[in-house]
Amino acid sequence: MIEIREADPTSDVLRPIVEAHFAHSESAGPAESNHTMSAESLAGPGIRFCAIYDDQQALGCGALKLLPDGTAEVKSVHILAQARGRGLARVMMTHLADLARAEGVEALVLETGAEHLPEYDAARKLYEALGYSYCGPIFGYSDDPNSAFMRLALEPRS
């Protein structure tokens, strides 16, 4: 049974998933364009870190970073390689949107790899399918040719 719950990214179970995400980001583009957060940073204030489980097996993670402009940044969405192809990243992204919406966040924003970085093709396609649109640099970032910035307005659920 798939379940998502808030968790500690520094735990022995989840740290390897966060580190796998960090390693992927390090290898996918130049260091100056890598905005991936460490497990310790993801455990910090203003971050809601979630893990996705199948029964008790941790398969992935995702987080929200609350920003002072009324938005929340999606961070560290990662599904372990052996669990990919099951739609779990979509499940995590939907969960994060629902969580942010319930907290009154006006929009979700994110930074991912630009079009010339094929390692991020699947992520960009997922975000597009979920209704994210491309935008300029989000809060805390500057223009970067290696980054794509995206935004999803959150309408309250009726």
Delimit the domains of the chain by residue range. 2-153
What is the tens place of the pLDDT at every residue in 126-145? 999 999 999 999 999 999 99
Per the CB < 8 A criterion, the answer to whether 76 and 37 are in contact is yes
3-state helix, strand, coil in the chain (%, to 5): 30, 30, 35
Per-residue pLDDT of 35-92, as tens digits, reads 788 899 999 999 999 999 999 999 999 999 999 999 999 999 999 999 999 999 999 9
**Torsion-angle region of 152 (φ positive above 0: left; ψ -120 to 50: alpha; else: beta):** beta
Q: CB count, 10 Å around CB of 147?
A: 21
For the chain, report the end-to-end CA distance as a whole number of angstroms. Answer: 28
| pLDDT at residue 57, as a whole number | 95
- Between CA 42 and CA 36 the distance in angstroms is 10
Q: State the alpha helices, DSSP H only, in 103-139.
A: 121-129
Confidence at residue 30, expressed as pLDDT on a 0 to 100 scale:
65
Amino acid letter, residue 16: P
pLDDT band, residue 34 (cuts 50/70/90): low
Cα Rg of the chain, angstroms:
15
pLDDT classification of 14: cutoffs 50, 70, 90: very high
User: Closest Cα to residue 79, out of 127, 38, 118, 24?
Assistant: 24
Report H helices in the chain. Answer: 15-28, 39-42, 88-102, 121-129
CB atoms within 10 A of CB 156: 8
Lowest mean pLDDT among 2-11, 16-25, 45-54, 56-65: 16-25
State yes or no: pLDDT of 31 exceeds 70: no
CATH no. for 2-153: 3.40.630.30
